[in-house]
Amino acid sequence: MRLRCRAAALLLLALSALLLALLALRPGPAPPPPARPASAPQRPPAPAPARPAGRGAPTRAGPGAQRPRPPPPRPRAGRRRGAPSPEKLARRPGEPRSFHAVLPPKLWIHLAVVACGNRLEETLVMLKSAVLFSHRKMHFHIFTEESLKPEFDKQLQQWPDSYTEKFVHRIYPITFSVGNPQEWRKLFKPCAAQRLFLPVILKDVDSLLYVDTDVLFLRPVDDIWKLLRQFNSTQLAAMAPEHEIPQTGWYSRFAQHPFYGSAGVNSGVMLMNLTRIRSAQFKNSMIPTGLAWEDMLYPLYQKYKNAITWGDQDLLNIIFYFNPERLYVFPCHWNYRPDHCMYGSNCKRAELEGVSVLHGNRGVYHDDKQPTFKALYEAIRDFPFQDNLFQSMYYPLQLKFLETVHTLCGRIPQVFLKQIEKTMKRAYEKHVIMHVGPNQMR
């Protein structure tokens, strides 16, 4: 009996030892992670690197291990890579009108005009032709008499918002920085000599397109503005020839002073790089060294004032006679005048491409000597801003041209209509087809 009790006790001890051994082999709870400081931000766990397609992922780190790629660099402030430049943004077809608000001022077109006397209506029609077809935002610099300033402000503010958002304007008094102001004011037509002083007055403007009041744009101003890019390193202004045939030109037959080239140049449409003009030294016939633009004007006028007929245009011809390398000459269709058709068509570029800028000098907008020019002027003047260009301008203009076929200029209506038709088609495609959508036009 005592032996049985001892055997049971040994068996119980063995079972207890076995149970304790089994408990010792069981894993215990994982220790808690070390506490982070309160200020340390919590980061999500990094995702595991993706396994390359078709291959097993390496099991240990090494030269062949697939390492996670670093995050892409944060883009820098400013224009993102691949984004269109402001220049491309300004020329993007079908761009809504709101793009004018983001166009940097340095990309605006600067257009200057000098209007005195009875030139208010002509100037407004010229500005209207500029905003009808152009795409980029424009800055109008209007030089006029104090009595005309309120009327300019009033008339321009009455235009529809869809057109006034395309430009800003500033009105300047007539001022001459050197010499006798009364002499300059009476030179040729009233205030016309003001254009000579634009580089001096508009000190913050880099480039400028100057036009006479009797100019009409038959295509976007943007297109003639692009000619500035064609200047070489020495050129600082651009004008068209006064005549295409030197043998019949005024300068080649009658001028008593030096003039540019074989037939002179016409200053009614003039592109200017004002920055270059202000920094250049101009050769001249007065002193052996060069003179700055402002220092040259009055001595030049004093020397030639008894020989000049066309005022400031003659002075410009004299300047570029001595400095021909500084002038870029653009073709006649950028400054098309009655002289190009009243004795027969002699502007070949206009025959090929159409008239781009119409210059109605000799007062032809207001008399019956050149009815083709008058018809174009009245069509733009009377066009209601919100009407359809084809219905309210182009078709009536074609009918008016039928009444001018008895004149030499009227016998070539395609010369006047070709460019304006192309411009109207582009405006139609931009504002109708691209905005409505080709699928909705069916």
Q: Are 330 and 227 contacting, i.e. CB atoms less than 8 angstroms apart? A: yes
- The yes-or-no verdict on residue 55 having pLDDT over 90 is no
Please count the CA atoms within 13 angstroms of the CA of 38 that sit on its side-chain side: 0
Q: Are 401 and 434 contacting, i.e. CB atoms less than 8 angstroms apart? A: no
For the residues of 197-239, what is the DSSP string, one character each? GHHHH-TT-SEEEEE-TTEEESS-HHHHHGGGGG--SS--EEE
Enumerate the CATH 3.90.550.10 domain ranges in the chain, comma separated. Answer: 109-330
Write out the two tokens for 117.
Answer: 């006397």
- Those residues whose C-beta lies under 8 Å from the C-beta of residue 403, and which sit 6 or more positions away, are 371, 375, 410
- Those residues whose C-beta lies under 8 Å from the C-beta of residue 15, and which sit 6 or more positions away, are none
- The yes-or-no verdict on residue 71 having pLDDT over 60 is no
pLDDT per residue as tens digits for the range 218-230? 999 999 999 999 9
| Candidate from 11-15, 210-214, 263-267, 335-339 with smallest mean pLDDT | 11-15
Sequence letter at residue 332: C
pLDDT per residue as tens digits for the range 416-438? 999 988 887 776 676 665 555 54
Residues 120-149 have a mean pLDDT of 95
CA nearest 172: which of 195, 189, 156? 195
Residues 319-336 have a mean pLDDT of 98
Q: Are strands 109-115 and 138-144 parallel, antiparallel or unpaired?
A: parallel
Q: Please tell me what DSSP assigns to residue 67.
A: P
- The yes-or-no verdict on residue 51 having pLDDT over 60 is no
pLDDT per residue as tens digits for the range 215-262? 999 999 999 999 999 999 999 999 999 999 888 889 999 999 999 999
Q: Are 315 and 301 contacting, i.e. CB atoms less than 8 angstroms apart? A: yes
At residue 217, what are phi and psi to the nearest 5 degrees?
A: -90, 125
Q: Are 329 and 261 contacting, i.e. CB atoms less than 8 angstroms apart? A: yes
Average pLDDT along the chain: 81
What pLDDT shows up at residue 249? 85
Q: Are 222 and 364 contacting, i.e. CB atoms less than 8 angstroms apart? A: no
Q: Are 284 and 300 contacting, i.e. CB atoms less than 8 angstroms apart? A: yes
CATH of 109-330 among 3.30.300.30, 3.90.550.10, 3.40.640.10, 3.20.20.70: 3.90.550.10
Residues 117-143 have a mean pLDDT of 95
Q: What is the spatial distance between Cα 238 and Cα 221, in angstroms, rounded to a whole number?
A: 15
- Those residues whose C-beta lies under 8 Å from the C-beta of residue 317, and which sit 6 or more positions away, are 251, 255, 257, 258, 259, 260, 264, 265
**Count of C-beta atoms within a 10 Å radius of residue 370:** 23
CA distances from 88 to 79, 166, 241, 301 (A): 13, 17, 32, 44
